[in-house]
Amino acid sequence: MGVLTIAGPFFGKNLLIPLTNVVSLALITACLLVACATMKLRFSESNLKRPYKVPGGLVGIWFAILASATVLLLLIIPTSPAALDWPLEWLIVLGWVALGCFLMLFQNKRHRGQEISDAVQGKCT
């Protein structure tokens, strides 16, 4: 994606606008997942020491989930003014997801679960 972003100015608006729209979908998806993970950790690991306090506590987390989900739906629903254009932008999304799935399949299976476990436990490698 970085290579396409660097090459974007040489291809003009025809490449930059679709890439910007696709990246906005990816960013808002990440924001939604982080907000949901934060909410899950609030209940599953309530005694965990946290270096950051969310403004508003649980209300702030719920607001982040609601706002992120709303923007995500606006990008996905075809009749929305913010919707991704078919076919170019959705083909970029599908290609990006396919690349991610391909890379995940060939990741070293021995380390896949251990890295996640270490990250949750706060171990540095």
Per-residue model confidence (pLDDT) at position 59: 93
Between the alpha carbon of residue 6 and those of residues 2, 11, 16, 88, the distances in Å are 6, 10, 10, 19
- pLDDT given for residue 95 in this prediction: 92
Q: Are 69 and 32 within 8 A, CB to CB?
A: yes
pTM beyond 0.85: no
Find the range with the poorest average confidence among 7-11, 39-43, 66-70.
7-11
For residues 101 and 117, give the distance between their C-alpha atoms in angstroms, rounded to a whole number: 21
- The structural domains of the chain, with segments of one domain joined by +, span 2-86
